[in-house]
């Protein structure tokens, strides 16, 4: 594939002629409902098997490498370039076609019943794990149930391994009190582990994901001991155990979200970790990219220093937010917007999509019918390709998506173009 950024005057017909593919192929790869509508700055997947590239004015080796998902070094080597800065318009470059790395892909879902089944059947081929969210743990070691049988059956039909998720979530937030009650009570832990094993057997789960957040810093060692007990109880049953980790950039990072998440201990104890590398831009906070790559890399740099790379799964968002300006702390929170819907909204309000090079994320401003200014940060083919390049360069275990239920057809196409998805079923 290639990624084309729409310029003023572009049409799908012109692009189809330029790249030698059909209008329908471009529309299908990008999930375009109306092939006549393009937005300036919009990124489009061009589904070609590219072996060469003709340099256009203004292009650099870096931008061409980003487009094809290869490194500058690989491009320079394939074309015997002694000075990668010296390429000229009209020059033809060979694009190296490396074997696709094999990774694991997880996705969380809060959609159940027929809606959840339809989603899994649509994108299940791209998943290793499906994680229904979530079994909510109580202080006594019991937990709430989920009506997840239908999505689990759908997962198996797509050769996707269901992963059970337990949380300390209660009344719309993560409860430090529930986490403490369980972590400080060995009998509650025994009850919880027994309940987990019984549920996994009954429902066909193959892995467990522990998403305990806002644990009191004083409970850090208790949490590590609990995780070891979990592993000791589940490994003999051939179940995998994973955890979610807050996005830390150092061992000394302070705050209730971070301090009890012991990166080295998790890396030693569990089978893999999911880094929650998103929500820099969040619904109740000031506008910014949800997962700016420059911030994600800071987390990865710390993570790979204390956790084996083959145990690290990088979190990725499938959504963006639409903030009303000016931002006022404590005012109405920004609503979620899916990437496909974000582009459609840009078209409706005549916006031009821009791209933040530092965070590798698209955004745009617009004025609504009432004259209020908005800013939208979201994801597109460019931003996910940039993240996949990082996954490759760090040789990570895989990626994990929060959360299924918004339309982002580009993501799955780009994922499939970059990787071979490992299947455990």
Active site residues: 213
Name which of 283, 286, 410, 380 is nearest 336 in CA terms: 283
DSSP-assigned states of every residue in 268-317: HHSSEEEE----SS-TTS-S--SS-HHHHHHHHHHHHHHS-GGGEEEEEE
Per the listing, tokens 């007990």 go with: 229
> Residue 11: CB partners within 8 Å, gap ≥ 6?
36, 38
Evaluate whether 46 touches 3 at the Cβ level (below 8 Å): yes
For residues 331 and 415, give the distance between their C-alpha atoms in angstroms, rounded to a whole number.
37
For residues 381 and 240, give the distance between their C-alpha atoms in angstroms, rounded to a whole number.
32
State the virtual CA torsion across 64, 69, 74, 75 in degrees, nearest 10.
Answer: -20
SS3 (DSSP) at 390: helix
Per the listing, tokens 């391994």 go with: 161
For residues 403 and 406, give the distance between their C-alpha atoms in angstroms, rounded to a whole number.
8
């Amino acid at each position: 594939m290639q990624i084309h950024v729409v310029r003023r005057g572009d049409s799908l017909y012109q692009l189809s002629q330029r790249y030698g593919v059909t209008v329908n192929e471009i529309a299908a790869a990008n999930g375009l409902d109306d092939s006549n509508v393009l937005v300036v700055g919009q990124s489009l997947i061009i589904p070609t098997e590219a072996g060469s590239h003709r340099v256009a004015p203004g292009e650099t080796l870096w931008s061409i490498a980003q487009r094809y998902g290869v490194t500058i070094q690989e491009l320079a080597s394939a074309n015997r370039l002694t000075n990668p800065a010296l390429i000229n318009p009209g020059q033809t470059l060979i694009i190296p076609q490396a074997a696709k790395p094999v990774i694991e892909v997880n996705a969380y879902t809060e959609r159940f019943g027929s809606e959840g089944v339809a989603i899994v059947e649509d994108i299940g081929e791209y998943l290793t794990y499906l994680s229904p969210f979530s079994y909510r743990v109580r202080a006594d070691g019991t937990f709430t149930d989920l009506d997840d049988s239908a999505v689990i059956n759908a997962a198996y039909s797509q050769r996707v391994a269901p992963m059970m998720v337990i949380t300390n979530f209660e009344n719309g937030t993560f409860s430090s009190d529930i986490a403490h009650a369980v972590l400080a009570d060995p009998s509650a832990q025994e009850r919880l582990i027994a309940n987990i094993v019984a549920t996994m057997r009954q429902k066909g789960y193959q892995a467990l994901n522990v998403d305990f957040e806002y644990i009191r810093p004083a409970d850090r060692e208790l949490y590590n001991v609990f995780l070891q007990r979990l592993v000791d109880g589940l490994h003999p049953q051939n179940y995998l155990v994973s955890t979610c980790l807050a996005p830390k950039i150092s061992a000394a990072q302070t705050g209730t979200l971070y301090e009890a998440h012991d990166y080295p201990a998790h890396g030693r104890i569990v089978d893999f970790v999911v880094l929650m590398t998103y929500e820099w831009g969040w619904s109740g906070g000031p506008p910014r990219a949800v997962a700016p790559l420059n911030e994600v890399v800071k987390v990865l740099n710390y993570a790979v220093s204390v956790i084996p790379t083959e145990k690290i799964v990088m979190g990725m968002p499938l959504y963006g937010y639409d903030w009303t300006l000016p931002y006022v702390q404590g005012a109405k929170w920004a609503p979620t917007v899916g990437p496909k819907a974000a582009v459609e909204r840009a078209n409706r309000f005549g916006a031009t999509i821009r791209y933040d090079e530092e965070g590798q994320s698209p955004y745009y401003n617009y004025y609504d019918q009432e004259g209020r200014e908005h800013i939208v940060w979201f994801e597109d083919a460019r931003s996910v390709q940039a993240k996949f390049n990082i996954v490759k360069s760090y040789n990570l275990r895989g990626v994990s998506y929060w959360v299924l239920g918004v339309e982002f057809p580009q993501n799955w196409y780009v994922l499939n173009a970059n990787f071979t998805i490992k299947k455990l079923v």
